[in-house]
Amino acid sequence: MAVRTLDSVALDGKRVLVRVDLNLPMQDGRITDPTRLTAAAQTVREIAGKGGRVVVLAHFGRPKGVDPTQSLQPLLAPLAAALAPHPVRFVADCIGPVAEAAVAGLADGEVLLCENLRFHAGEEANDAGFTASLAKLGDLWVMDAFSAAHRAHASTAGLGALLPGVAGRTMQRELAALSKALAHPDRPVMAIVGGAKVSTKLDLLGNLAGKVDILAIGGGMANTFLAAMGLNVRESLCEHGLADTARAIQAEARARGCKILLPIDVVVAETLSSDAEVELVAVERVPEGRKIFDIGPATVAGWLSAMRTARTVVWNGPVGAFEVPPFDQGTVHLARKMTELDEMLSVAGGGDTVAALAAAGVIDKMSYVSTAGGAFLEWLEGKTLPGVAAVGG
């Protein structure tokens, strides 16, 4: 989908509301992963550098009303460091007289960080009055939080009806990568989908079956497909009630010329424990009392063979219980071997996926890794995201 960008608007002297993602992982008051802040800073720095008066809007956590433990104030210092030499101030609200006075005091090139949007119920409710109060602070709205674009909240979608809106650089890059991977891909396209349950990714599997050439299914959801084929997965995680759905997805894929790949060997154990006794077996021979926790090396080899024929690979979801070694090996080996392949676009996203790729040490070797969770998944499902539609070209 085409979107309006910063290249299409004048910024000098304008009050620019920039919706960013500062919902950062924190421990003992310190940021443990600054990725989202670094990405947000690029857009804010560009606007300030072009003479804009930047008003940063963001949320943190899931507060129910004002909650000092969820304040954005602790992010003032790291944000200021990322934006130096542009001055950055903090205001203890995002609407009302206090916020309006703080914005009025901004000079060209200065930045104001507003307090947590979600301290007001009107943010998530996309309340008209709250949205209008936000709009009073700016002349222009920049949506740069793709990770929140699937939410029709006041700051992520509602402002688009009241102010001229454009996509920020982070969102622009995200949309370009996703468009290249699925909307206008170099073929063949292969998708790797993992995770625990088919029920959480029905829309995703259905959409991908009509868009990709090869669909590899791993994780707990693969067990549902194996069981639907008549294999005995014993006590493994499996949604037996979705057997007909699994067969329908396979039939739809065949009708659309999409080849589905399922595990052919698996790693089993009695319990999901790092000290459990593990065994490698063919999928047809899962022993009684054992559960499937990972794909095996023959499966990895087969999927890599298919991947060598692909020009584009999209990955969402680990293919085993990667949080508990040794059941991370399938995901790790697949990821490392994949990034050794040349001339291939590799796009991945989703919280568990990012964590798994980080554990494998390959994030910087992927073509693009999205830090968006729900928004990335809904985009892959083919849904229209409110925050994207609001800045559509």
In a domain, 176, yes or no: no
pLDDT band for position 27 (50/70/90)? confident
Residues 215 and 161 in one domain: no
170, 204, 223 - which closes a domain = 170
Task: Please indicate, yes or no, whether residues 57 and 193 belong to a single structural domain of this protein.
Answer: no
Nearest-angstrom CA–CA distance, 88 and 258: 51
Do 24 and 93 fall within a single domain? yes
Segment 296-326, tens digit of pLDDT: 999 999 999 999 999 999 999 999 999 999 9
Phi first, then psi: what are they for 31, rounded to 5°?
A: -75, 125
Whether 350 shows a pLDDT value over 90: the answer reads: no
- What confidence tier does 355 reach under pLDDT thresholds 50, 70, 90? confident
Q: DSSP assignment of 153-188, as one string?
A: -TTTTGGGGTS-EEE-HHHHHHHHHHIIIIISPPSS
Name the CA radius of gyration of the chain, rounded: 23
- What is the tens place of the pLDDT at every residue in 29-69? 788 888 889 989 999 999 999 999 999 999 999 999 999 99
Instruction: Reply yes or no on whether the pLDDT at 79 is more than 90.
Output: yes
Walk across the sheet containing 265-269 and list its strands.
279-282, 265-269, 291-295
What 202-205 contacts at long range (C-beta under 8 Å, 24+ apart), as own/partner pairs, is: 202/245, 202/249, 203/381, 203/382, 203/383, 204/316, 204/377, 204/380, 204/381, 205/249
**Residue 152 sits in the same domain as residue 289:** no
Over the stretch 200-239, which tens digit does the pLDDT of each residue have? 898 999 999 999 999 999 999 999 999 999 999 999 999 9
- List b or e across 115-142, with b for residues whose CB sees 16 or more CB atoms inside 10 angstroms: bbbbbbebbbebbeebbbbbbebbbbbb
Q: Is residue 253 predicted with pLDDT exceeding 90?
A: yes
Lowest mean pLDDT among 111-115, 314-318, 377-381: 377-381
**What would the two tokens of residue 299 be?**
């499966």
Question: Is residue 180 assigned to a domain?
Answer: no
Are residues 52 and 75 both part of a single domain? yes
Whether the per-residue pLDDT at 393 is higher than 80: the answer is no
Last residue of a domain, one of 135, 170, 205: 170
Q: Does one domain contain both 18 and 123?
A: yes
**What is the percentage of the chain residues whose pLDDT exceeds 70?**
99
**Mode of pairing for the β-strands spanning 111-114 and 279-282:** unpaired
CB atoms near residue 25 (< 10 Å): 11
**In terms of domains, do 139 and 208 share one?**
no
Structure confidence by residue, pLDDT tens digits, 134-174: 999 999 999 999 999 999 999 999 999 999 999 999 999 99
Q: What residues make up the domain containing 211? A: 185-380
- Beta-carbon count within 10 A of 75 CB: 20
Q: Which residue has the higher pLDDT, 9 or 372?
A: 9
What's the token pair of residue 270?
Answer: 């009695």
Average pLDDT across the chain, whole number: 94
For residue 119, being part of any structural domain is answered with: yes
Q: Is residue 295 part of a domain?
A: yes
- 326/365 same-domain check: yes
Structural domain includes residue 132: yes
Q: How far from each other are the two terminal CA atoms of the chain, in whole angstroms?
A: 8
Query: Does residue 6 register a pLDDT over 90?
Result: yes
287 and 200 inside one domain: yes
Res 31: pLDDT: 86
- Let me know whether 148 and 84 are in one domain: yes
Q: Are residues 153 and 117 in the same domain?
A: yes
Tell me whether residue 385 is in a domain.
no
Residue 158 lies in a domain: yes
Residues acting as catalytic residues: 36, 197, 351, 374
We report the CATH number of the domain holding residue 137 as 3.40.50.1260
Mean pLDDT on 100-114: 98
Mean predicted confidence (pLDDT) in 101-106: 98
- Residues 177 and 33: their CA atoms lie apart, in Å, by 22
Q: Is the pLDDT of residue 337 over 80?
A: yes
- At 2 the pLDDT is 86
Could you tell me if 214 and 84 lie in one domain? no
Tally of domains within the chain: 2
Q: Does 22 map to a domain? A: yes
H helices then E strands: how many in the chain? 14, 17
User: Of 136, 170, 204, which closes a domain?
Assistant: 170
